[in-house]
Chains A and B, each alone.
Chain A
């Protein structure tokens, strides 16, 4: 089949360039580990490391499964049914994505923790503990399920209803149609979204440390915070990179060999919405519950704190606005660079699957599984040695954020490319366009839903990122996230509420675009 033909040289070159940048953190770990191999192995190869790794993977599996279980019904309800106010629900259900996990965890402890707001309200002696596996699982699931929901809604909209009509015409019931016709088409996005959730859980530090779950990143933190000799931290980081490749393999198994683009001629007909009837009440209740717990509750706590903070005179709007501008600049830069880079990687992986493109795609994920601080240190290491003029510039910060969050864009773009038939591209080629022309005028525009979704996801995460921003930002360059850190690390929660709310407000714009327009691809 023509889809497996060799990639054009310029696309391969672009992909290789992206991969080379993306493996910088892994290369840094490699340099450090090889520098002291004996020491590194003695840290990485212990039963303690294995036990913590197993615990972390257990958490990742539980959160991923829960995120899919939340996202799948919401996605289907808001795209394919007559759920009242489904467009509003779509936006609301995506909003938890804007809440940084460290802020979310803190808010949950304030609301649901011992002697928290809920306990006060109920007047009970004790609530089930929010700390440990249970609370971490809950908080991470609630703040990561939109990573599955977003690409899922895009995919649901692009599904050709003719297949379902045909299946129903042959006498299959709605559930069976969903299982045998719809689900197979959703596997690629579920696998891609699930991978992002799993890797997010593996690399998260903020939520796990606040909720006292002993995960692998906490182990890295303890190792390098105490030893400062980087070997221990680097060798544990290297273990994470290996884990990441394992998860990647699993995800690509799930998504491989699926023909999901339309084969029939003509334009895509919008699907006829399913009538929910009486079922709309439980459906509404489910959406409302998720929104209430994952978005309304944390924002209510923040608003309460902000009102306290403003009355205490410790926050200023003009300062928060200036910080917001910086956050926006850096995040938009990372989103733009990242979306272009991801488009090259995804185009290679989807249109020209071979060893090279597979390696490029896997390499591009290397920075995502690592805690932000290791990504930042890697860039410090290479920039000061190889390109000193780049050090301490916003450009390096943008590069760091791009490397860290690149895979967020690869998934959605790859998924949308999978749903574009290569025959369309072949037709354009047949009409005399060059390959580069076809990519520019046919492939990229058809994948634009995915590109927008990917860019918005990078934007959101770049806004929230903390350790890498603190280390890589030019001197005196502050963002909303660094300000939240400054305030909370000294216990000034009221003062942190305003920048946190502003961060949510800025981040909500791309989320709105994502759920309303980004996914609305014909």
Chain B
């Protein structure tokens, strides 16, 4: 048999070399960046953030500058990070967990993974915006509201509460995101206020009224802006941000219904990991998030409600924080959330 040309024989060898290099290169990576668990080599804490860089960047930068410390951040979906923290257990490299949804931080706390926060930090926010057991504290609030297309709908046509969206006039015109955390938190609050029976009736009536199913709040907002639907159940700041970016002509308006839990405050929150060996710094970081400049960053950049005592909401947020009901501590119990999912599945909403 003829000898094969040389390059052909090199292929597996080249692949092997590349593989070894890739793996070896990674080893160096860790040494230089110091991201390994247990013994961090850089000066600073590690943050697991369910909030994206644009939402927290200014506050993190301020802490880094003022404390002269680094913050290493892992950004991912809040639920994914919560699941990761549970799998990591004691070996977690994280010092602080910043959750976008209350359910996730409640789950992590229930696994005994969060350390108690000192009273002086907890006192920075009103009692209704923190864990009764002091394991996490709210940072900003996101209100559940009704968004609507200002060209298609007069504000006076909107029902006084989301219960009104089951009327025949709204058939096929309302968007919601049953799979989103914020919607599920909202349904949990409805159950607490009105009971399972009334909540189920509403969910079933929404489904029967052809409520349009979207994966998330952004999709609802964009669908309203595009005229695909006329109204939707959404978080207030998605619209506020779009108005800030697109100008006053943006066709979507926000409405805080007065009745029937029409609006509801959901918290973003932080906790310090029990496994952290930098708890002092981690607590300093939590405190800095609640200080005035950071709270101001949150409300001006993302249009969320600041929760620390004395912090002023962005001028565009005309509805005062205190008038919006919020999910109290015991509502974020995991059992409650699971029961909500089951209820939503039985009602055909999920």
Contact = CB atoms under 8 A, between A and B. Distances in A.
Contacts of A397: 26
Contacts of A490: 52, 54-55, 218, 241
Q: How large is the interface on A (under 10, 10 to 19, 20 to 34, 35 or more residues)?
A: 35 or more
A115 B227 contact: yes
Interface in B17-42: 18-19, 22-23, 25-27, 29-30, 33, 35-38
B99 to A, nearest CB: 11
A218 B242 CA distance: 28
B79 A340 contact: no
Interface string B220-263: 01110011100000000010011000000000000000000000
Contact of B37 (A228, A336, A388): A388
Interface residues of B, number: 74
A475 B93 contact: yes
Interface stretch (B69-77, B306-314, B318-326): B69-77
B179 interface: yes
A428 interface: yes
B12 A444 contact: yes
A107 B77 CA distance: 22
Nearest to A330: B22
B104 A228 contact: yes
Given A115-B228, A222-B179, A490-B218, A441 B33 contact: no
Given A209-B215, A475-B33, A491-B238, A228 B27 contact: no
Contacts, number: 201
Contacts of B341: 222-223, 226-227
B22 A471 contact: no
A228 B29 contact: no
Interface in B53-85: 53-55, 72-77, 79-84
Nearest to B242: A491
Contacts of A332: 18, 22
Contact of B179 (A218, A391, A392, A491): A218
Contact of A226 (B11, B52, B215, B340): B340
B350 A475 contact: no
A25 B253 CA distance: 46
Nearest to B215: A209
B280 interface: no
Given A222-B341, A384-B87, A467-B77, A398 B223 contact: no
A377 B218 CA distance: 27
A222 B213 CA distance: 14
Given A445-B4, A491-B218, A377 B46 contact: no
Interface of A: 48, 113-116, 209-210, 212, 218, 221-230, 329, 332-333, 336-337, 339-340, 343, 373, 376-377, 380-381, 384-385, 388-389, 391-395, 397-398, 424, 427-428, 431, 440-442, 444-445, 448, 451-452, 455, 467, 470-471, 473-477, 482, 486, 489-492
